[in-house]
Chain A
Amino acid sequence: MLDKFIKHKKYLFLFLIIFLGAFLRLYKVPAVPPGLYIDEISDAYNGYEILTKGVDEHGAKYPLWFKAFGEYKMPMFVYTAAGSIALFGRTDFAVRFPALVCGILTLIIFYFLVENLSKFIKQKIPFPPSSLALTSTLILAISPWHIQFSRAGFDATIALPFYLLGLLFSILAYKKKQSFLLTLSFICLALTGYSYNAYRLFVPATFLVIAAIFVIKQKQMLKGIILNAIFFIIMILPMVIFTFTGAGMERFAQTSAFTAYATSSLIEKIIHLPIIFLNNYLSYFSLNFLFNVGDGIGRHQMVGFGPMPYWEFPFLIVGLYVFIKNWKNPFNLIIFALLFAVPFSAAATTPSPHTLRSLLMVIPLTIIVAYGFLWVMDKLLKGKRILIFLGIIALISFEFIFYLHFYYQHYPIINSYDWGAGYEEMVAKTVKYQPEFKHIVVDHNLGIAEIPLYYGFYTGDKLKPQVVLSSWHKPKDWEKGTTLYIRAFYNRNVIPNTIDTVYLPGKNKDIFATFQKL
């Protein structure tokens, strides 16, 4: 009965879930989270420069790697941002648009991935396979982990749908035995590699696993597999070569968890590094990380909230139990492989655990939670324990609305400084006062590296103020009253000749910047 109902209405349910997911990702963007943070403004400015001049901020023509803050970033976000800036202009919404689209696309791809993967479930399950795909998509649609990263310009959000699409095409290629689908899969995987640094190792590893499965299980496709493998290697070759160059290694050197032992002897490294790695690896499965506080970085989750809501915990335990019990099932093996493989590359970096680098973990975890949820619901509904069922739904709804209240009401206030709240207003006010002043200088405490990017992006390179240290004194030959000095944080009562102030969100009116006439 339920099977038939879901079969006929599944696309209607899917549409409603995607609509809910899209609403949760689009509502009040870009006001919440407030302002573009440092990486977003870097991508935005580079995107704008690429669009208008065909060069990045350092003058490199259509580069494959973007130099930013002493490291190199993957190109996908910058080029997609260039496209959306062309569509929507130099706005915060334009910068976040690629992530928003990818966040919504992830939900659609995820549905078809789980539905196709479900066909590998060999054990007898008490619910129709389509309901697992629908429930998983619904849980992902309301997942704080995925919502958080879909609403702002994170490279990882762009990478996720490409990776899932790569997996989906490889499953379809396996089932339909078509080399063309394998080609699409490898193209998507290669694009994932060019989207986010954390996938630089993960993508080649995924390719090797997929290629090995095809070579062993689909021998009749051998010619196609070899051709596709060569095609994939050609596609990712620039990335692999870059990874082993000095510039490519910079990111790893900056974030390596083993930096403290860089100069140690080999024996010392052999003794200590595996334990550091093990510690970091296990931290990704810590309850404190998953449910309590996340990684503690304000941009990655709200203060006092983990990436997973508490209601998911009992279903995660039930799901894990059912998965372990049937661990030889191909479906369960794939989900487990994904779950335990994701933290491998992230565990070699610091800080660990890290919510963004482990974003892919949300996929297997959501499927396990959905599995546990359906398992419990089936038992409850069969036992006609409707009241308990309704109670659980009420609790889930309450926790979700509680989360939304904090997200829209408290988060923009508490974590405004983790984002770039204040910069857009500061630039707008500078533009307003510019005609009255001959010199404009900005205190370096407002961000020595990012100030030129904010001014460059919001004014279209029309205004380039001088960035100075806090100890700066006005040169004697500058006439009195001709200098606008934009200072960080200071209370306007303390500073004489303050002409304007930029406040952070909230009724406390915390000062972001003051405009002083010198």
Chain B
Amino acid sequence: MKKKITRLFLLITLEIEIAVLAFWLLHCKDFQEILHVNFGQLTLQLKGETGQDLGVPLLIVRLFHNKLIDGTLLIVKTYFRFWDFLFTGGLFPFLGGFGIMSAGYYFFASTVKRAWQWILFILFLMFPFVELFLYAKVPFLIRIGLFYAVFGFISLLGIKKFLSLQKWGFVILIILVAVFIWWFAITDFHFANLCYQYP
């Protein structure tokens, strides 16, 4: 019985993820620039910042306003934006998001960590860099496909583990499925902020 319930929920999660992926593919041409790292404006930004440093010792100006600091901050900001609820919550169904959080929790909680688990964990952390840096070289279709492959797989692992360890875990999942369908039916997934839509 438990196995059947687990299989059922894995199937539901997978189907929901495929449905949302299809939804994105049908509506979206590419992600907005806010998710892409572009160093083009750093020089202008630095000029603006140093222009406000009237009377500040040159050493301090150079210490705080240089391409290394501003470039690093730009990458960090874009990386954090990628993990924004409003982004991942729109791009990826939160039922899957729950699976990912569950996978993360059990990964940290387990005393023995296998090599493939570490690989998946690193892939997960590194994945946004594909979007951040390779947006001009890798087509949107491949980028979003890769995203769903990595995130989808981890989410299924997390849900499987969650159901195997939590006796009443399926009740939480039923609530999440219901809220997701509700959400999916009436929100526009913040399209305007996230992606360029087809005309």
Contacts and interface: CB of A to CB of B under 8 A. Distances in A.
A410 B49 contact: yes
Contacts of B77: 292, 304
Contact of B52 (A274, A279, A286, A413): A413
Most-contacted residue by chain A among B60, B87, B186 (CB, 10 A): B186
Contacts of B123: none
A272 B186 contact: yes
A507 B52 CA distance: 7
Contacts of A413: 52
Contacts of B168: none
A338 B182 CA distance: 28
A409 B108 CA distance: 42
B60 to A, nearest CB: 7
A397 to B, nearest CB: 13
A375 interface: no
Contact of B80 (A271, A287, A304, A321): A287
Contacts of B69: 402
Nearest to A406: B64
Given A272-B186, A282-B89, A288-B84, A310 B105 contact: no
B76 A310 contact: yes
Given A271-B186, A324-B105, A409-B52, A288 B76 contact: no
Contact of A405 (B60, B76, B109): B60
Interface in A366-407: 402, 405-406
A279 B90 CA distance: 10
Interface residues of B, number: 28
B41 interface: no
A410 B83 CA distance: 28
Interface residues of A, number: 30
A318 B51 CA distance: 39
Q: Is the interface of B mostly helix, strand, loop or mixed?
A: helix
Contact of B86 (A283, A321, A405): A283
Interface string B72-108: 0100110011011111010000000000000001001
Q: Is the interface of A mostly helix, strand, loop or mixed?
A: helix
B183 interface: yes
Contacts of B166: none
A406 B52 CA distance: 10
B86 A278 contact: no
Contacts of B89: 282
Most-contacted residue by chain A among B53, B69, B77 (CB, 10 A): B77
Interface of B: 49, 51-54, 56, 60, 64, 69, 73, 76-77, 80-81, 83-87, 89, 105, 108-109, 179, 182-183, 186-187
Interface of A: 271-272, 274-275, 278-279, 282-283, 285-289, 291-292, 304, 310, 321, 324-325, 402, 405-406, 409-410, 413-414, 506-508
11 contacts: A272-B186, A274-B182, A275-B183, A275-B186, A278-B183, A283-B86, A286-B85, A292-B80, A410-B49, A410-B52, A507-B52
Given A286-B85, A292-B77, 8 more contacts: A278-B179, A282-B85, A286-B84, A287-B83, A287-B84, A288-B87, A289-B84, A506-B52
